[in-house]
C-alpha cells in the first residue's frame, strides 16, 4: 500500500468507524498525542476521550459521512490534507464541509495527529 493509499484509508476509516459507532476502531486511527478539533473549537485529546466521544453519540439514525476529494501533501514521515465531506446528521440535516488534517508515520503505520472539522 502506498503512503497516499494508507492516508486515504485513514480518511475513509474515520467516516466508516464513526458511522458504525465502532469506538475502538475510531480511536485506533489517532496517534497517542492527537487532537480532534470539533466544530466550534472544542478539542478532544487522549485515546479514552476519542472512545468516549463515539460511545456517547446517539445511534446513527440514518446519519452518515461521505468522504469526497482530498488534497494530500506528504513530506517524509509527516503529511497534511484537506478532505471534503458530505454528511447527514442523526437529526436528518444534510451538511458539507472539510477536514484539515495532519498525519504522522508511526511504527503501526500512518496515524491522524490533528483533525479540525469545518462546515461550509
The sign of the torsion formed by the CA atoms of 48, 28, 82, 118 equals: negative
Q: Report the length, in residues, of the chain.
A: 120
Element (H, E) at 45: strand 43-45
pTM (predicted TM-score): 0.93
Query: In terms of residue numbers, what domain contains 110?
Result: 3-119
Cell of 34: 492527537
Rounded CA-CA distance 75/119 in Å is: 27
Query: Residue 91's pLDDT band (boundaries 50, 70, 90)?
Result: confident
Based on the structure, what is the number of domains in the chain? 1
Q: For the chain, give the percent of residues with pLDDT over 70.
A: 100
Cell of 14: 474515520
Q: The domain that contains 51 carries what CATH number?
A: 3.10.450.50
Report pLDDT for 62. 85
Amino acid at each position: 500500500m502506498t503512503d497516499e493509499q494508507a492516508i486515504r484509508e485513514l480518511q475513509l476509516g474515520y467516516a466508516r468507524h464513526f458511522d458504525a459507532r465502532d469506538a475502538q476502531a475510531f480511536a485506533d486511527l489517532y496517534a497517542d498525542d492527537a487532537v480532534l478539533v470539533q466544530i466550534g473549537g472544542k478539542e478532544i485529546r487522549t485515546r479514552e476521550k476519542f472512545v468516549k466521544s463515539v460511545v456517547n453519540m446517539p445511534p446513527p439514525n440514518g446519519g452518515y459521512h461521505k468522504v469526497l476529494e482530498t488534497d494530500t501533501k506528504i513530506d517524509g514521515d509527516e503529511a497534511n490534507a484537506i478532505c471534503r465531506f458530505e454528511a447527514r446528521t442523526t437529526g436528518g440535516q444534510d451538511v458539507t464541509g472539510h477536514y484539515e488534517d495532519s498525519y504522522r508515520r508511526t511504527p503501526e503505520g500512518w496515524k491522524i495527529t490533528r483533525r479540525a472539522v469545518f462546515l461550509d
